[in-house]
Amino acid sequence: VKGSNVPTVGSAAPMMHTPTKDSVGGDLSKIDTRDPHDDMHDVDYAEALGKRPIVLLFATPALCQSRVCGPVVDIAEQVRHARPKDDVAWIHQEIYKNNQLKDGFVPQFLKYHLPSEPWLFTIDRHGKIAAAIEGASSANELQKAVDAATKG
């Protein structure tokens, strides 16, 4: 996005931690508004950054202002499970503290300087942004973004 601080393709991905299923004692309702919960809460972003490719999806299905977050998370889940098992870390990050609009944004969302949701980033194993998608995307577009992060 021109004139903003949103990370761009080729730039270094910001360092941060993301909550995981383990960090919330298995209670995914604390970190995921999708019903049913998705399978993208196993890896802390900080543990994968610079070591393996990452798909990072900022979206809050139950609270999305644009109403496309639910379908975007569904597509990510579909693409994830259709891909051969590889070393990609799939991370879904909600954007509101405690999943409540009134509590403001989580630090991870602020760290990426995002003006809206959903946003999807793929990051290569060197920690560089390989693709960035704002808003809705198709399974094909997501597949290409993941491929951009896994090649090389």
The tens digit of pLDDT for each residue in 24-73 reads: 999 999 999 999 999 999 999 999 999 999 999 999 999 998 889 999 99
User: In the predicted model, is pLDDT for residue 148 greater than 70?
Assistant: yes
User: In the predicted model, is pLDDT for residue 2 greater than 80?
Assistant: no
User: In the predicted model, is pLDDT for residue 151 greater than 60?
Assistant: yes
Predicted local confidence at residue 94, as pLDDT:
97
Structure confidence at residue 85 as a pLDDT band (50, 70, 90): confident
* pTM of this structure: 0.95
User: In the predicted model, is pLDDT for residue 21 greater than 70?
Assistant: yes
Token pair, residue 134, equals 């704002």
